[in-house]
Amino acid sequence: MDLTLWQYQFRIIMLGDSTVGKSSMLKRYTEDLFLETINQTVGVDFYVHFLEVEPGTRVKLQFWDTAGQERFRSVTRSYYRNSVGGLLVFDVANRASFEHVREWHAEVCEHVTPHAVLFVLVGHKSDREAERAVSRAEAERLAAQLGAPYVEASARTGHNIRAAFELLARRVYQGLLSGEVRPREGWDGVKSSAPQTHQLPKTSGPERPASTCPC
């Protein structure tokens, strides 16, 4: 199948402190590669991946990998408004990165109005079990408070990397089916390849809950 053909484009933003492994997650998902050292993101990096969310429906996933450092925040904020999905990432061995998740979530919510953003919370570097500083139960409680699913993943081993990204992509697609998310003129969060003619199928059942904004 020609990978240039897609019905929808979803713009997804990576959120979290510097060094939590956002770039490593994207590298593993889009190229199935893991690098022991990876250059720190400066500003925003861009990735593309294609996913068939159901038979006959192909989605172009456009990922924006944001720098976690405060000095780049004015640059990264400009990308929030045009995103429909957000992966909130923390390092399970870094307590501070977990404590900052609420700040990342609140900041996005503040900037997306009147659009909706759907979230998934990811506890990254799950291979570092011996160094764990955040329990799964505690992370699950935070996810529940944010209304987001929780996944633990490791770019090093590949564990749950695909599951994390595709959970969010399919959640956005279900949002389209239900009307929770709609393509809008002048908004790049969701684009349709044929907005005047492509008809959304009816949803086939419930989906796991995810956080939305406005919050």
Does some domain include residue 1? no
Buried b (16+ CB within 10 A) or exposed e, 6-26: bbbbbbbbbbbbeebbbbbbb
- How many folded domains does the chain comprise? 1
Q: What is the pLDDT of residue 77?
A: 65
Does some domain include residue 2? no
Does some domain include residue 61? yes
Does some domain include residue 205? yes
- Which H or E run includes 66? strand 57-66
Does some domain include residue 3? no
Neighbours of 47 (CB within 10 A): 17
Q: What is the pLDDT of residue 109?
A: 87
Q: Containing domain of residue 155, as a range?
A: 8-213
What is the Cα–Cα distance from 201 to 189, expressed in whole angstroms? 20
C-alpha count within 13 angstroms, C-beta hemisphere, residue 69: 7
- Which H or E run includes 45? strand 44-54
Q: In Å, what is the CA distance from 82 to each residue of 10, 106, 108?
A: 10, 16, 11
Q: What is the mean pLDDT of each run of 10 residues along the chain (215 residues)?
A: 74 91 93 77 75 94 74 59 93 98 91 84 97 98 97 98 97 93 86 60 40 53
Q: What is the pLDDT of residue 178?
A: 93
Residue 195 preceded by cis peptide, ω within 30: no
Does some domain include residue 14? yes
What does pTM read for this prediction?
Answer: 0.83
Q: What is the pLDDT of residue 177?
A: 93
Question: CATH number of the domain that 134 lies in?
Answer: 3.40.50.300
Q: What is the pLDDT of residue 155?
A: 97
What is the Cα–Cα distance from 84 to 10, expressed in whole angstroms? 7
Q: What is the pLDDT of residue 105?
A: 94
